[in-house]
Structure 1
């Protein structure tokens, strides 16, 4: 049986969760397979199936979405009147309203959304918890079966170094509500101009620089946006993370997370294997100093 003809284990999880929620799963289509599996259901509903053991993260994402709706911050909305998450075989399933047509946010749109989010008073009804920049990194490294043994050992050692450096993170802006994964795919703009935040499972209390460093990486590490675009981002947000003493640590952490994500998707998507190897080569200094070219989104479409 080939990978293409093998039954999809998440389809049965979806059917079970939909039945419990009173929703119709007939005709469901896959929108994305990455950290989570995303399905479109009839009636403009989106189902999100987590990896095993992520119930707490899924519950927090639902709580964050409901809180942001209550304070009128544009973000993906939970399907109302549905008890969530629904856990099937240790995988959490959540249900959401489908967004209207949208595109990735621009740097200035991301900056505006982050400035608004970072100014919020944390919710009183539940605990956001503190940012964990190392969540799932160890598991990704150990399960990355396509990388070489030498690269795996280097990644283990580099992860240990990053964890030690994190304990000495320099003081920066006051910790606040952070999105946790604020790249342009998670801050989108609809056709009517509304800027909406997605993927709220890592929202927590942490250094605001954790959210702004991703745009800095797109400029200084990857050359994917122009200097003018980055300067506009800084002007709208109100500060430049690259001027902070902790920038290089957060940059290294973010780049490492991006690399482990590619190593994770390469296990099931053969087309992502060269991308995982390329990112590791960049981090290990095999392809020269930043900026690096050739970093493409994963998973491959």
Structure 2
């Protein structure tokens, strides 16, 4: 059994046990995506999300954040009502969400408007949302990057230490707010019924709004994933250009490093992705010329 098939088999067993415990029908469940989390489409317009081990506290917060966003009028994916969730099985958290209508990635303007609306909300007092940690799980991902040479992992550990220091000493910017935490265009979608909806709320927290804005800047200037004209429209819609802030390069470098660490995690489970990790690390080390770089998406 390959690594990916073994991971899917384990996730499905966790899903089935959790559905039995919660009284949710699981017959006909189909895998939608297997990456950081496993997503399954269930009958009745429900999507189940199976986390990695040790993420129960994150899942609890994600459900609370989604309900808070609904109360604040911030369009976001919503947990299935009437269920006591998450349910933990074998150390993994399972949550159930209302499936969205057909949707597409958000445009730069839609992402900007969604972030502006979120950042303008008061910080919730009814539950502890937690502070942004841009380095969460990065050391673990480096340790588990077994397809990489020890020299590469040693460099990544050194880079992580450097970035931690730079984050602690970053320049003051906009006032802290609720931030999405992973606000790339795939996590802000436009639906066929005319809504713009935030997805993947597990990294929502209190932190600098610039963290969210940096995602679109990286998409533009690191990866050439959207045009500079689109980026200007993003800035106009939000009302602030993060690239003009003295702390931008620090946040950009952390974002890029996170993307390399995610690829390293994927490659540890699917060695066919090792070349992409090596390419990303070489880019970060200045061995592939200046930005923009061509990075192939990993699941």
What are the equivalent positions in structure 2 for 1:113-192 lying under 5 Å apart?
113-192=114-193
Which stretches in structure 2 are left out of the alignment for 5+ residues? Answer: none
- Over 3 Å counting, the alpha-carbon distance change for 1:147 and 1:81 in structure 2 is same
- Superimposed CA distance per residue, residues 85-141 of structure 1 (whole angstroms, 9 cap, x where no aligned partner): 100011011110011100111111100000000000111210111100000000000
Alpha-carbon distance in structure 2 between the residues aligned to 1:3 and 1:166: 35
Q: Tell me the distance in 2 between the aligned counterparts of 1:40 and 1:192.
A: 20
Q: Report the 3-state secondary structure (helix = DSSP H, G, I; strand = E; otherwise coil) of the residue aligned with 1:185.
A: helix
Question: Which residue does 2:196 correspond to in 1?
Answer: 195
Q: Secondary structure at the match of 2:161?
A: helix
Kindly indicate whether residue 73 of structure 2 is the aligned counterpart of residue 72 of structure 1: yes
Whose helix proportion is higher, 1 or 2? 2
**Structure 1 unmatched ranges of 5 or more:** none
Runs of 4 or more, structure 1, over 6 Å off, are none
Cα distance in 2 between the residues matched to 1:54 and 1:5: 22
Which deviations, in whole Å up to 9, do the C-alpha atoms of 1:248-290 show, x marking residues without a partner? 0000000000110111111223442222111111001110111
Q: TM-score by structure 1 length? A: 0.96
Supply the distance in 1 between the matched residues of 2:214 and 2:194 (Cα, whole angstroms).
Answer: 24
Instruction: Quickly say closer, same or farther: Cα 1:162–1:104, change in 2 above 3 A.
Output: same
Q: How far apart in 1 are the matches of 2:274 and 2:181?
A: 26
Q: In the alignment, what sits opposite 1:231? A: 232
Give the drift of 1:2.
Answer: 4.7
Q: Which residue of 1 aligns with 2:32?
A: 31
Return closer, same or farther for 1:197/1:226 CA change in 2, 3 Å cut-off: same
Which runs of structure 2 are paired with 1:1-301 in the superposition (5 Å)?
1-3=1-3, 6=6, 8-292=9-293, 294-299=294-299
Aligned alpha-carbon RMSD (Å)? 1.3
Shift of 1:153: 0.5
